[in-house]
Structure 1
Amino acid sequence: MRPLLSCRLAAPLLASALLLGGCGEAPPPAPSAGFAGLGESAEGYTQARPGTPLRFPEDHGAHPDYRIEWWYLTANLEDESGEPLGLQWTLFRQALMPPAERPAPGPWVADQLWMAHLAVSRGEQHAVAERFARSHSADPAGGQAGAVAHPFLAWLDDWELVTRVEAPDADTFERLTLTAFDGEGEERAGYRLDLTAEGPLVLHGDAGFSQKSADGQGSMYVSQPFWRVEGEVVLAGETHEVSGRGWLDREWSSQLLGPEQAGWDWFSLHLDDGHRLMAFQLRGGGEAGGDYRSGTWVSPEGEPRALAPDELALTPLATSSVAGREVPTRWRLEVPAAGLDLIVAAPHAERWMDTTVPYWEGEVIARDRDSDRRLGIGYLEMTGY
C-alpha cells in the first residue's frame, strides 16, 4: 500500500507541522479518526474515486489537492557474500489545508508538510532515520522538499529519488537513482542505489482506484514491482555492494480509511517464478464489522488481476515481542485462485520503526505451506499494534 497507507502514516505530519511552525504541541487525533488520523474528514479536498483517469508521467509527481500521498520503496538485497539486506525509503506529503483555504505564498508560509523515512536492515542490525520539511504548493520545484514529474525528482533536503533518463520525451521514471544517508562514523547508514524497471507499472484495484473499506474509502494506488536494484548500502559505518529486487508504491488520497479502522497488515512478495503479489487487510471496515482485504496478483509480464476480499485470506500464526508489543511475524497467506497457500515469516523480528508514528516493517520469506519449499521474498508492514 503501502496501503497504505504508508505509512501510509502521512497523517502524523500534521502534528509535526505544528511543532515545526512554532505553534506548540498538537492535540492527539480524535479516537474516531482511525489509525494516525487517516479516517479524518477530508471536506474540501479532491477525493480518490473509481473512474479517475491516471496520466503518466504527470501522476509520478505530487498531487497537492489531495490530502495525503507517498512514494514508498522497499528492497530485498544481497551483499557481495550473499548476506541478505533490506531497506526502505519513503517520502510522505500531507496538505495542511484544502485548496480553497491556502494562503498566498510567502517566506514563512507553507501549505504542504513532508516527512521522509530511511531504514537499513541486516541480520540483527536495523537503522532508522526520519526527516521533516515544509513547502508551498505554488512553488512545487523550489522548496525544501517536493516531487515533480518530468524530469522526475522526489526529495527532502539531500535525500532524493531522481531520474537517470535524459531524453525529454522519454519516461523519466524508468531508471532512477536513490541517495539517502544519515549519521556519521560508526553511526552512518544509508544507500546510493540505481533502480532499473524491468516490467511495467501496475495499477491496483479498479484501474488504479484501490478500495480500503466496505464503505468505499480508498486511494489511487500504482506500483512499480519490477525494479532491479544495484549500488551500495552503508550500515554501522560499513559499506556493502548490493544487488536485488525492489518494489515502489505510489498512493494518493484524501480519506484513506474509515474512522473505525485501527491499522493494517500489508504484504509485497517477489515470487521465484516471476509473479508478484500485493495483499493487505485493514483491521475493521469490512462487512459486518470484520476486516477488509484486497490484493493484486501480477503475472511475470506485469498483467494485474485484482483480488476481491473473499479471494484471499490472511491469518496470523505467531507473534514476536517487539518494542513492548506483540506483533504477528508469522502468517498464513492464501490465494486459492493462484494456487497459493503460503507461510510468510520474518526471519528477524526486530524491525520496529520508532518514528513519529511507530510501525513494524521488515523483510519476509514466503514458503509453500505443505512442502516448506521457499517460493519468494518480500516485505511486510504492520501498523496499529
Structure 2
Amino acid sequence: MLIEFRVANFRSLKDEQALTLEAAPVSDLTDARLRTVSTHCGPLLPAAVIYGSNASGKSNVLVALAFMREAVVHSLKGWAADKGVPRTAFAWSGKSRDHSMFEVSFVTQGVKYQYGFAADDHKIAEEWLFAWPDGSRQVWLERDGQRFSIGSALIGPSDSALNATRGNCLLLSVACNNGHPKLKPVSDWFQRIFTVNISHRLGKNRLSSGNSGRSSVLGSVADSWQADSSVWRLSLELLRAADLGIVDIRSVQVPTLPAGESQRLQLRHTHDENSWLDLEEESEGTKSLIRMAPSIVQAIESGGVWLGDELESSLHPLIGAAIVKLFNSPQSNPHGAQVLFTTHDTRMLAASSDAPLLRRDQIWFAEKNPEGASTIYPLTDYQPSQSENLESGYLQGRYGAIPFCGDISWIKE
C-alpha cells in the first residue's frame, strides 16, 4: 500500500509537495475503512481525493505518479538513449533546468520501501532505494549520476544491471528487466499502478484517453477487455451493478480498423438481448465506465493503486460514489487496493445519515498561486469539527481551492 508520494519541480508543482495516505486521528480508530499494515506503525487509507478549481494543478499530482511508474517500468526499453528524460519541469522562475524529484514510500509483501529519483531533461541525477525487511532501515541503492553504491543486502545480478544502466535510465528499471529477485516486489508494485483519464508527455498508458483520437481510444479499450478472462468477467459484473442495462459485452474482429487495432467492443442490452450495439453508439458515460472497469478490477484484485482524473467525468454521481465505496470497503477490497482521484463533485463531501463517503483525512485540495505554482494540502489543516458541513464549507471558500469568478453581468444575449 502507498504510504506517501512526494514530487517537486514537475509541471505546476514547483516546490516539493507531499500526499500522504496515513490516517489522521480524526475519528474512531475502529473505522472499517482503515487498513492496518503490520510493518507500518499507523493505519493507512484506501482512498484520497483532491479538489480544486480548473487549472489548479490537482491533476498534475496524479500525472506525476503516473510518470514515475512510466520511468520505472519503461525507461530501459521505452526511452531512447539519445532523447534524454521526458519530464516536464516547472516552466517559470528559472526552474526548467533544475532537477525534478519523485519519491514514494509503500509497503508490499510485508516490507516497507522508500524509493525515489531526481532527473533533469538529459539524465538521472540521483536514485535511491531503502528497505525495512526486518524492521530496521537498510540502504539498498544510492546513485549519484553514473556512480552507484549497492547495499550488501541487495544480493543478485547487480553488476550486469550497473553495466546496462544508461544515463537517462533508472537502475531499478534495468535490474527488474534483468530479473533481479530482491527487486521484483518493488517492480511489481509499480506495475500495479493503473491510470485512467491521465495523459502525460509519453502518452503510453493504454487506458488513458487524453492523447488519443476517438478511434484509437475505442481500440485500446477493446484491447483491455480481451487481455484477461477473469478481468472480463468481473468488469462485466461491475457494469451490471451500475444499472446501465448492459447484460453482456464482447470483442469482435474488424478488418477495416486503423493500423495497430483489430478489435472493437459490442454491447447487448436488457431491452433487446438479440442485438449487439457498437461501443461507438453508447453514451459518453457508458464509454467512460467501460474504459475504467478493467483497470478498477485489476487494481482491486492485485491490491494496486488506481489513479482517476476527474472521476465524475460523464458519470452519474452515484456511480462515482460507488467506485469510492468499492475501495473503502474491506469486503469488496480485501487486498488493500487504493484509489487516488480528482473531482469537482462536491456531493462526495456531503453529510449522510450513514457514515460519510470520505473521512476528513481522505480529502485534499490543490491551489495555484499568482506565480503559477500549485500547492496541495489536506482538509485536516483546517481541523473541521465532526458536525461541520464540509460541502457547504468548501463552496463558501472556507478551505480555499475554489475559483473566484468575475462579474459576468455584462454579457448580453
Q: Same fold (TM over 0.5)?
A: no
Taking structure 2 as the reference length, what is the TM-score of the superposition?
0.27
**Higher Rg:** 2
More strand by share: 1
More helix by share: 2
Taking structure 1 as the reference length, what is the TM-score of the superposition?
0.28
Larger RCO (CA within 8 A; separation ≥ 6): 2
